[in-house]
Amino acid sequence: MPPRSGEELKEELESRQDSRIVRALEMVAPGTALREGIDNILHAHTGGLIVIGDADELAFLFSGGIKLDLDYSPELLYELAKMDGAIVLSSNATKIAQVNVQLTPDPTILTFETGTRHRTAERVSKQVDAIVIAVSERREVVSLYVDGMKYILEDIPVVLAKANQALATLDKYRTRLDQVSTRLTALEFEGGATLHDVLTVLQRAELVTRMAVEIERYIVELGTEGRLIEMQLDETMVGVSADKGALVHDYLLEDTDEGFALAIEQLIRLPHQDLLDFGRLAELLGHDRKLNTLDYPVSPRGFRILGRIPRLPKLVVQRIVDEFGGLEELLAATDGELETVDGVGEIRAKDIREGLRRQQEINLVDRYLQT
**Are 275 and 146 contained in the same domain?**
no
**Residues in a beta bridge with 133:** 50, 144
Residue 98 main-chain phi, psi, to 5 deg: -145, 155
The answer to whether the beta carbons of residues 197 and 187 sit under 8 Å apart is: yes
Give the end of a domain, one of 153, 168, 197. Answer: 153
Q: Please indicate, yes or no, if residue 318 is contained in any of the structural domains.
A: yes
Domain's final residue, options 299, 319, 352 = 299
Which residues, in sequence order, are bridge partners of residue 66?
Answer: 99
Residues 163 and 291 grouped into a single domain: yes
CB count, 10 Å around CB of 20?
14
Q: What integer pLDDT is reported at residue 248 of this predicted model?
A: 97
Q: What amino acid occupies position 270?
A: L
3-class SS at 139? coil
SS3 194: strand
CA atoms within 13 A on the CB side of 296: 16
The angle at the Cα of 249, spanning 248 to 253, to the nearest 5 degrees, equals 85
Domain co-membership, 281 together with 184: yes
pLDDT-flagged residues of the chain (< 70): 1-18, 363-371
Closest-CA residue to 208 (of 198, 200, 220, 218):
200
In a shared domain, residues 252 and 120: no
With respect to residue 5, please indicate whether it lies within any of the assigned structural domains.
yes
Question: Which residue range is the domain that position 182 belongs to?
Answer: 1-15+154-299
How many domains is the chain built from? 3
CATH assignment at residue 92: 3.40.1700.10
24 part of a folded domain: no
Residues 158 and 294 in one domain: yes
The verdict on 218 and 179 lying in the same domain is yes
Instruction: Mark whether 221 and 320 lie in a shared domain.
Output: no
172 shares a domain with 148: no
Residue at 20 is within a domain: no
With beta carbons less than 8 A apart as the criterion, state whether 64 and 101 touch.
yes
Q: Are residues 45 and 136 in the same domain?
A: yes
Does residue 216 share a domain with residue 293? Answer: yes
What is the tens place of the pLDDT at every residue in 96-138?
A: 999 999 999 999 999 989 889 999 999 999 999 999 999 998 8
Statement to judge: residues 109 and 186 lie in one domain: no
Return the pLDDT at 154. Answer: 87
What pLDDT sits at residue 260? 95
Amino acid at 172: K
Which pLDDT belongs to residue 219?
A: 94
Closest CA to 276 of 179, 176, 203: 203
Same domain, 248 and 145: no
Q: What is the CATH number of the domain that holds 308?
A: 1.10.150.20
pLDDT at 362: 73
Does some domain include residue 132? Answer: yes
CA geometry: angle 257, 184, 167, nearest 5 deg: 85
In a domain, 21, yes or no: no
Final residue before a domain boundary, out of 274, 299, 324: 299
Q: Tell me, what CATH number does 250's domain have? A: 1.20.1260.110
User: Is 333 within a domain?
Assistant: yes
User: In this structure, is residue 103 part of a structural domain?
Assistant: yes
